[in-house]
Amino acid sequence: MRSLIALLLATALTPTAGAEEALGRLFFTPERRQILDRQRLLNIQDTKQVNEDPTLTINGVVTRSSGKRTSWVNGTAQNENEIAGGVAITPQMRDPGKVVVQASDSPAANARVGETVNRNTGESRDLLNDGRIVVKRAAKNRQ
């Protein structure tokens, strides 16, 4: 009995090899993590490039609990007070699915999520190009 207790105490007090290894950070190298920590500390954001394509597709709008809004344009996130590629996207307060697109060299255009705006003309079109989606439902057997 004493030998069993001694064995249990010896194994409990012996540090394991896995406990000595630090887990470290996941997903990023230490250098990249240090850059991200510094950017967060100094409130520096990565610059986002928007191509010079004359069409902009409004992919989505998110309003956070803080009230700050982010729009996705051509698959790239853009904050509400940010001008990327000479284009400002301003989500509407009263209609969260609608934005105002203001390019530096063209008139402002209104667009809804899912529409594409031509920066040169200010005209917006839905992704169906004035087409329709028709859903035919199967007739239910009523008894």
**For residue 109, is it within any domain?**
yes
Identify whether 93 is part of a domain: yes
Confidence bin at 20 (pLDDT 50/70/90): low
CB 98 within 8 A of CB 112: yes
C-alpha span between 58 and 76 (Å, rounded) = 10
Number of domains in the chain: 1
Global pTM value: 0.52
The 3-state DSSP class for residue 42 equals helix
Q: How confident is the model at residue 50 (pLDDT cuts 50, 70, 90)?
A: very low
Indicate whether 49 belongs to any domain: no
State which residues form the domain around 98. Answer: 55-126
Q: Is residue 78 part of a domain?
A: yes
Res 34: pLDDT: 84
| 114 within a domain of the structure (yes/no) | yes
DSSP 56: E
pLDDT digits (tens, 9 = 90+) for 89-143: 888 778 878 888 887 777 788 888 888 888 778 788 887 766 777 888 887 765 5
Q: Is the dihedral of CA 115, 116, 119, 124 positive or negative?
A: negative
